[in-house]
Amino acid sequence: MKNIYITGGAGCIGTALSKKLYQNKNYQIYIIDNLSRGIESQHNLSILLKSCPNIIFYKQNILSYSGLKKIMKNPYVVFHLAALPSHRLSLKKPLSYAKTDLLGTINILEILRLSSDKAKIIFASSNKVYGKQNPPFVESSQTDPQGPYGLAKLQSEQWLQLYHQYYGINAIVARLFHVTGPRTQPDREISIFSQKILKDKTINVHGIYKNNKFISCSAGYTNVYDVADGLILLMEKANGFDIYNIGSKKETSVLDLAKYIAKSLSKKADIKLVQMLDHESLRHSADNTKIKKIGWVQKYTVKDSLDQFLKWQKHLPFKRKIHYK
């Protein structure tokens, strides 16, 4: 049995990835998560463990090196997904993001350095490392993160490269783009919009005004199950130090997203058009040529992802919190 560790395994991507990996009986899967999302993390984990009873769960913060060291024995692959999310939230708590998203990553790398077998690490980075530039973003593009979240992700990538160069660890970076689907984190657009529309509250759609015309922000929204497929491909086919975008090249406007959610909920959305912040990007999308060359296929549309999310949210036994306006 090959030991696979998934940090942040109780989250949106972690649970989808765990379930796919569980189908391979040659893997023993370990989930490491501090359940910082409270009841939501606990619910995700409970559902996963009922359907995949042989998965082993450890409640652990990635900032505890000693705690991780006790858990991670003979790792084959580590999917490092654990992090504080959200560009906007990071602007309010930069120190917390530096600690968790960067130092937590270094803890994992140090454990791999000292293990008898140099395991492979697949690191979940973000499109936020690219900063403000014209899409689609290519892996070779210059990086220019515009906030603590993107900077911590980029610096984590650099530490992965260092550990590969000096210690021979296979370190693969997956830059993810606007992951959507069931269990989407509560700070994402579809989570915020659906909650506010259901409560008849105003939702803010960000963009810019140009020649007295509003242009909505847009993004290459990518389904969580497609992301999980991409991560597994990187485990199987990528080696050394390398970087891959896992994201959609097709952009969907945030305004269209809001209208579709309202229509699906049979509600009327009260939409306020808001000028985006100066450091934010109007458009995000991925050049996914590189990962497609090793076999990645997008199976789900944005509509599929939204339908999956709304169906999942409808059957939640608790109410989700809205993280920011």
Q: What is the DSSP string of 177-230?
A: --EESTT--TTSHHHHHHHHHHTT--EEEEEEEETTEEEE-EE--EEHHHHHHH
Q: Answer whether 0.85 is exceeded by the pTM.
A: yes
Position 247 pLDDT exceeds 80: yes
The pLDDT, as a whole number, for residue 322 is 65
Return the sign of the alpha-carbon dihedral for residues 126, 130, 136, 138. Answer: negative
Q: Determine the 3-state secondary structure of 186 from DSSP.
A: coil
Position 264 pLDDT exceeds 80: yes
Concatenating the DSSP letter of every residue in 237-264 gives H--SEEEEEES-SS-EEHHHHHHHHHHH
Average pLDDT over residues 159-166: 97
The pLDDT, as a whole number, for residue 117 is 78
Residue 116 C-alpha from the chain's centroid: 30
The pLDDT, as a whole number, for residue 319 is 83
Distances (CA, A) of 313 to 63, 190, 191, 227, 301: 31, 11, 9, 20, 18
Average pLDDT over residues 66-85: 96
241, 161 contact by CB (below 8 A): yes
In degrees, rounded to 5, the angle at the alpha carbon of residue 116 between the alpha carbons of residues 115 and 121 is 50
- Domains of the chain listed by start with CATH number: 2-179+222-246 (3.40.50.720), 180-220+250-285+300-314 (3.90.25.10)
287, 138 contact by CB (below 8 A): yes
Tell me the CB-side half-sphere exposure of residue 24, using CA atoms within 13 A. Answer: 14
Average pLDDT over residues 42-48: 96
The pLDDT, as a whole number, for residue 184 is 94
d(CA 254, CA 238): 33
Phi-psi region of 112 (alpha: psi -120 to 50; beta: other; left: phi over 0): alpha
Q: Output Rg (C-alpha) for the chain, integer angstroms.
A: 19
CA nearest 253: which of 206, 295, 299?
Answer: 206
